[in-house]
Structure 1
């Protein structure tokens, strides 16, 4: 479904990603891992078109996304939940969700009922401002906003960062449901090993902007963790 070929990214003269090759199979849940500063968020933003790749290709269903803006990638079926959530704090929960409707596939006339089914708290608080929600509730709102698009691929950058444990458990349950029961392809950046192992089917580890390990999640051994993830 998603294929990266020789992807390179840099800020000025500082190279962040070097010759990234990745294949994300349809229906998989892939966790991208690595220590802080190795390029995980840069990789996600480049896939989504928020940053233009310096070199290489990003193929989605065989179509080269090079040069296509983020909104075009959303319309093609890629949903994105950025690190830090980036909701609109002065807009209501309902208004935050409605923002995604113009890019929905097919174009939506209203917020899908399934969003409120997955996140009942968003229905309860639909008239509250996004900035009045707790961090965990804002994360649920950010995921809901991405799901309004009816994506075929959902990218989540650090979905459990700074979230209380009970909502982390809810988010994990929802990701597993979307992936395993509904067939949504998922790519997530995650630091919590237990969460990654219980949620993902595959993993890739970045180090200094390069992929240094990957495979089925059962292959994420303690040796790999010690060598590339421990601090």
Structure 2
């Protein structure tokens, strides 16, 4: 593997982590409106985020050994994640309208209404988190299949992903949301995510995976 390709793949790992944590922070702010409690919203987002990542890693972990090009599959998942982020504000609006309409016939503070709010919140963010959980197994499988010795470097790659997550969380919490607002932040990051995906898909044509 050439140094340039290795650097590029580290950049993909870093940005994947960064985008994921931006989404998590922004979702927490959105869902606080839906759930009606910031602490509850953080709990829902964290639980769904971690659960979705675990489910995605499990589902796509087995698939990673069967796909012909893990990097292309990674790009496809990132493209769907980015597209979903771009339309998330509209999806959230529909969920909020549905909860408000249903709540008109339910007792305020009832267990049924609380369950409905939580179900709507989870439904908004579970699909993309499952896909996020699948990106790292696919990308890691591609790396370990295309270069000798990279199996020993997987821990470093995950460290880069974690650093990206830290950067994304800090930027979202202290810069993007304050300067741009929730909807613009989500749209811009989703667009950047989609562009990253398109770059991965283009490069996957030039980077065949070894078997």
Q: For the superposition of Structure 1 and Structure 2, which TM-score range results when normalised by the shorter chain?
A: under 0.3
Higher helix share: 2
TM-score for the superposition, normalised by structure 1: 0.22
RCO higher in structure (CA 8 A, sep ≥6): 2
Higher strand share: 1
Say which one has the larger Rg. 2
TM-score for the superposition, normalised by structure 2: 0.24
